[in-house]
Amino acid sequence: MGTPLGDFVRTKRDSIQPETLGLPERGRRRSPGLRRLDLAARAGISVEYLTRIEQGRDRNPSIAVINALADALSLDAAERGHLRYLAKITGGECTAHARPAPPRRDVRPSVLRTLHLLEPGIAVVTNRLGDILAHTTGYATLTGGTGLLDADAGVPNLTRYVFTDPRARAFFADWDDVADEQAFDLWLGPSVENSEWLSAELAPVAGPDFTSRLNRHVVPRRGTLRLNHPAGPGLRLTRETLDVPADAQQIVVFLPADEETETAIARLRERPRLRAIS
């Protein structure tokens, strides 16, 4: 049985072409990417040890080995952070017996006061599983008519919306990028067990678009967010995330990326609230 760490190393190795690292082409092979032999040599470890890591038979590689693998795979800063995180949770999996409590879904008064100070701007409080716990009126305006804040399923959840509501593919101009972000953020939750709990609930209805992303550990770029609002305007937004680490939550603030978006949002605020489109 594999581990998150092994899955990430193997997936990243498969994505690298040897010539990009200045390695010679060794002829045709059955699987894509970098050979285990080449990666092991670059990292200064044996092929057998690398195989044990990838297959989940070694769950506690040293920090030196993790850093060597990061160098050998030419990981960027975000990918290195994710590799270290996966090493940490993989090493703890064999000693985890009790199922952790679900992620916190209440928002502390001081966080709510902070959110209030951002009015009438666009901001939302979420946890890493995608639950929308509180938001400004500006966020309600931004998402009006999309169905995202519909309360039929209880607490609105961005991850569930992205993968199960067909309106999400119209709302998010770069749906694939947003889907990568939501799947990746599950690994950053209070515990990997909580992400597995959500995936067990979500996978039957979300299908392979969700499960394939969850398992390949793509570190998203988080560039400009492009939205197609039901009222007509195309919007471009930058995002600033303020972590609330004690609660495993974050405040995400959305800012217009250009004058056209700023003007369009001002006009949306003047419109009556849209009914959700079907």
Per residue in 215-232, pLDDT (tens digit) is 777 788 888 999 999 988
Residue carrying structure tokens 């009015």: 119
Residue 144: other Cβ atoms inside 10 A? 20
Give pLDDT, residue 101: 60
- Angle subtended by helix axes 47-54 and 4-15, to nearest 10: 120
**246-264: per-residue pLDDT in tens?**
888 999 999 999 999 999 9
pLDDT interval class at 191 (50, 70, 90): low
Q: Is the pLDDT of residue 196 over 90?
A: no
Q: How far apart are CA 185 and CA 195, in angstroms?
A: 9
Separation of first and last alpha carbons in the chain: 42
Q: Is the pLDDT of residue 93 over 60?
A: no
Per the structure block, which two tokens stand in for 262?
């700023």
What proportion of the chain, given as a percentage, has pLDDT over 90? 48
Pairing of strands 249-256, 234-244: antiparallel
Burial class from Cβ neighbours inside 10 Å (0-12, 13-18, 19+) for residue 48 reads: exposed
* Mean predicted confidence (pLDDT) in 238-250: 91
Residue 238 has pLDDT above 90, yes or no: yes
Q: What is the pLDDT of residue 95?
A: 42
Q: Which residue has the higher pLDDT, 269 or 104?
A: 269
Instruction: Identify any residues that bridge with 131 across adjacent strands, giving them in sequence order.
Output: 157
Average pLDDT, the chain: 85
pLDDT in tens, 19-47: 777 776 666 666 678 889 999 999 999 99
Please name every residue paired with 155 in a beta bridge, in sequence order, or none if there are none. Answer: none
* Inter-residue contact 121 to 141 (CB < 8 Å): no
**pLDDT of 237 above 60:** yes
8 A C-beta contact, residue 199 and residue 211: yes
% of the chain beyond a pLDDT of 70: 86
pLDDT digits (tens, 9 = 90+) for 116-146: 999 999 999 998 889 999 999 999 999 999 9
Q: At what angle do helices 208-216 and 192-206 cross, to 10 degrees?
A: 150
Q: Check residue 65 and give its pLDDT.
A: 93
Query: Does the pLDDT of residue 96 top 60, yes or no?
Result: no
Q: Which residues contact 87 (CB under 8 A, 6 or more apart)?
A: 5, 61, 66
